[in-house]
Amino acid sequence: MEGEPIIRISGLGKDYLTAAGSVPALQDISLAIYPGEFVAIMGPSGSGKSTFMNLLGCLDVPSGGAYSLNGTDVRTLDRDQLAQLRNAVIGFVFQGFNLLPRANLIDNVALPLVYAGVGKADRVRRAQEMLDKVGLGKYGASRPNQISGGQQQRVAIARALINRPRLILADEPTGNLDTRTSQEIMSLFTALNRDEGITVILVTHEADIASYASRLVRFIDGHLAHDGAVDHEMHGSVGAASSPRKGDGTSVRGEDAAPTAASPRNPR
Ligand SMILES: Nc1ncnc2c1ncn2[C@@H]1O[C@H](COP(=O)(O)OP(=O)(O)O)[C@@H](O)[C@H]1O
Ligand SMILES: [Mg+2]
């Protein structure tokens, strides 16, 4: 850990207002994440993982507490400033890839640069560079439905990288992918973290996926239930049909009946 945290939150909470009343999705979360960390977020369905990621990504506003992103208290920013900070600092990767079906891969990857006001020639050059980086340099003219799910997620990662973010937020990025493809995607995140120092925060249900991270944060019922180092003995079993150990708060355990490597992952 070096210098200032890229994320510092204290007493963060989020209530959703519904017709049936207020739903407390997150309560009193405090933590700091430093540049270069690789953090896995785990917890049962409904425990607040996506809510947390949306707050970190400034896609939603907290109901209470404080949040500093890259040294800036986000409460001091108006909408435009927030969007600017988000675009400058964060790359997002989602479970469903979220690519534009009718645009080719170059245009998909270049899309954030349109919002940033970058000219066409520069956009194409930088998008090509990012496609090269994720191993899809030859497919720039293809459309998303012409490549595999794993390749589509690579394109989404290339798009997330195009503004040279310091931070990648990924919400169940391997949730729709088979085991082998998931491992390839995790290797890519690992390389970005290790070689380029990009901070990675990644939500997963899978113990094997979480074991790529160095720190594990676990939510239960909207509370921070655990925050500590990942037990790297797990790494030996990544991809193997192993049963994660139970009962140790520092080991990475699967949630709802963690699948073995042999069982298919179902898109939810
Ligand atoms: N837009 C929303 N409106 C109302 N309740 C929500 C909304 N989004 C999430 N929730 C509720 O907040 C809680 C946490 O949800 P979520 O953050 O999506 O959990 P997770 O990603 O861990 O599955 C759940 O009880 C969920 O039903
Ligand atoms: Mg979720």
22 alpha carbon – ligand 2 mean position (Å): 19
CA distance linking residue 190 with residue 184, whole number of Å: 10
15 burial type by CB count under 10 A (0-12 exposed, 13-18 middle, 19+ buried): middle
pLDDT of residue 201: 98
Distance CA 216, CA 252 (A): 7
> Which of 188, 238, 242, 249 has the alpha carbon at shortest distance from 210?
238
Neighbours of ion ligand 2 (CB under 5 A): 49-50
Task: Give the residue ranges of DSSP H helices in 3-148.
Answer: 49-56, 79-89, 105-115, 120-133
Q: Which ligand is in closest contact with the Cα of 96? A: 2
Q: What is the pLDDT of residue 267?
A: 40
Domains and CATH numbers, the chain: 5-227 (3.40.50.300)
- What are the backbone angles phi and psi of residue 37, rounded to the nearest 5°? -75, 155
Other C-beta atoms closer than 10 Å to the C-beta of 167 total 23
Ranges in the chain, pLDDT < 70: 1-2, 233-268
Q: What is the pLDDT of residue 162?
A: 96
| Predicted local confidence at residue 231, as pLDDT | 80
Is this model's pTM higher than 0.85 or not?
yes
Between CA 17 and CA 61 the distance in angstroms is 13
Count of Cβ atoms closer than 10 Å to residue 55 Cβ = 24
Query: How high is the pLDDT of residue 116?
Result: 83
pLDDT at 2: 56
CA atoms within 13 A on the CB side of 127: 25
Q: Which ligand is nearest to the CA of 44?
A: 1
